[in-house]
Chains A and B, each alone.
Chain A
């Protein structure tokens, strides 16, 4: 019991320590982001990695989530004779919650772990030290483009997730369950407001920051060889996922 509490205390201490160091990293990254020279090439490369290469995963997740949402809400709403509300249910859930959160979690699993691995490998093979000795600031060169890519690409991916989710829902609701297409679309348009979409996009910007910052932090401060790199990848996924869910709740309660 005592050992358990001690280990709990130690890991929460590490967590808080980590948050502090991450805040410092974010602060430095923000300072360097605007200091010349700004190399667009590095940023585009990361955007491609975070965004383009996540497209497939995000489309798959989004469409199936939309489909299952339609199915479940149809079953529930039918009991009240409110099948016509399947469309808005799917669209609102996607736009406000599931679009940003699922995108965040999937891209964290895919790109966040890969980022932590890449940076961790660079750390343990002294490539980050080499950058420093060549008078290139490693945070500016490595971390800034990753964070910028996260902040730019997460919202775009979220919009795509939302969109394919709605299409998936339409497919199940209209083609499989036989809801009148005019009603399905009309109701969706009636109920979903621009604000709902903006809520989701705001969240996704925060998630993009969380994922890339957490991955950069874990990779950047890796120690302990190949094993350490593996640890960095795992802990960046766990940490970012938890932070995404917690911040999602907080933002939902503020932006009600």
Chain B
């Protein structure tokens, strides 16, 4: 459903994406892994139109979204939900205001109905009785979960999660994995996730793609990736400091 073709992006002299090719299938969970600073977040921001590529295309159902008018793209955006790495909660609004924001902006629902959905989504991410709290008063993991609830509040077709489990305890991580799997089954949601959490990845991924030095160097199912002998991939999945990737 999404096809990334030869995507290139540089910031100044720094070539962050150097010809990324990746296909994301409808209704599947695609996990992008890679070292810190390799450009995973940058890639995600291209998919949702926050950044424009220097070169290359992103096709959504065959249509190039990098070349769309602002108005058309705004319609496309309604099919997406996104969790930012830093949650990016609106700090002038309560938790309920944040989670219900898209409902308030894009539907005619009354406040009561919105609050009902907000509560339900917050429950899905393991939060209760936080509706009236302000983002500044939440812990890091709670912010992330409020961000998750906000990303899925409209039941979007395509969900982008940038490190959904970072900062969560292992039990919570596992329940986020269940949330992803449940919604994928129930709503046929397409997921694109970035994570450093290998157990989480193994539990949910239909496809894993590794971003390294600006390209996707390996991709495949969990089984394929486990069997793949590429030393860079092995070093990453096994979390070793020694190997072809140099830490310094």
- Decide yes or no: A126 and B101 within 8 Å by CB, A132-B50, A134-B77, A137-B74 being known contacts: no
- Contact indicator A133/B86 (Cβ below 8 Å): no
21 contacts between A and B (CB under 8 A): A118-B92, A126-B86, A127-B89, A129-B50, A129-B84, A129-B88, A130-B82, A130-B89, A130-B90, A131-B90, A132-B77, A133-B50, A133-B80, A134-B101, A134-B105, A135-B77, A135-B78, A135-B106, A136-B101, A136-B102, A136-B105
- In the complex formed, the residue of A with least CB distance to B79 is A135
A2 to B8, CA, bound (A): 38
How many contacts between A and B, using CB within 8 angstroms? 47
Q: Give me 14 other A-B pairs in contact (C-beta within 8 A), A125-B91, A129-B50, A129-B88 excluded.
A: A118-B92, A125-B88, A126-B84, A126-B86, A127-B88, A127-B89, A129-B45, A130-B82, A130-B88, A131-B90, A133-B82, A135-B78, A135-B106, A136-B105
Measured in the bound complex, the distance between the Cα atoms of B85 and A193 in whole Å is 60
Interface string of B66-81 (1 = CB under 8 A from A): 0000000011011011
Report the Cα distance A130→B77, complex, angstroms. 11
Residues of B within 8 A of A121 (CB): 91
Question: Interface 1/0s, chain A 116-127, versus B by CB < 8 A?
Answer: 001001100111
A130: chain B residues at CB < 8 Å are 82, 84, 88-90
Residues of A within 8 A of B101 (CB): 134, 136
Q: How far is the CB of A123 from chain B (nearest CB, A)?
A: 11
| Those of B90-127 within 8 Å (CB) of chain A | 90-92, 101-102, 105-106
Task: Specify the chain B residue showing the minimal Cβ separation from A28.
Answer: B70
Task: Name the distance in Å between B125's Cβ and chain A's nearest Cβ.
Answer: 17
Q: Which of A127, A132, A133, A135 contacts B91 (CB 8 A)?
A: A127
Indicate if the CB atoms of B88 and A126 lie closer than 8 Å.
yes
Chain A interface mostly? helix
Most buried by B among A132, A133, A136: A133
List residues of B whose CB falls within 8 A of some A CB: 45, 48-50, 74-75, 77-78, 80-82, 84, 86, 88-92, 101-102, 105-106
Q: Which residues of A contact B89 (CB under 8 A)?
A: 127, 130
Q: How far is the CA of A137 from the CA of B78 in the complex (A)?
A: 12
Interchain nearest-CB distance for B208 vs A (Å):
24
Chain B residue, CB-CB nearest to A37: B105
Cα A80 to Cα B50 with chains together (Å):
68
A131–B102 alpha-carbon span in the complex (Å) = 9
CB neighbours of B75 from chain A (8 A): 135
Query: Please, which residues of chain A bring their CB within 8 A of the CB of B91?
Result: 121, 125, 127
B105 cross-chain contacts in A, Cβ below 8 A? 134-136
Which residues of chain A from 120 to 177 have a CB within 8 Å of any chain B CB? 121-122, 125-127, 129-137
User: Chain B residues with Cβ under 8 A from A136's Cβ?
Assistant: 101-102, 105
B143 to chain A, nearest CB (A): 11
Q: How far is the CB of B135 from chain A (nearest CB, A)?
A: 10
* Distance of A130 Cα from B98 Cα, bound (Å): 11
Docked Cα-Cα span, A121 to B86, in Å, equals 13
Inter-chain CA distance A116–B78, complex, in Å, is 29
Contacts of A137 in B (CB 8 A): 74
Query: A residues within 8 A CB of B78?
Result: 135
In the complex the two chains form, what is the Cα distance from A137 to B88 in whole Å?
16
Report the separation of the CA atoms of residues A126 and B91 in the bound assembly, to the nearest whole angstrom.
11
Smallest Cβ distance from B33 to chain A, in angstroms?
22
Kindly list the 8 A-B residue pairs having the minimum CB-CB distance in the complex, ordered from nearest. A126-B88, A135-B77, A130-B88, A133-B82, A134-B102, A135-B78, A126-B84, A135-B74
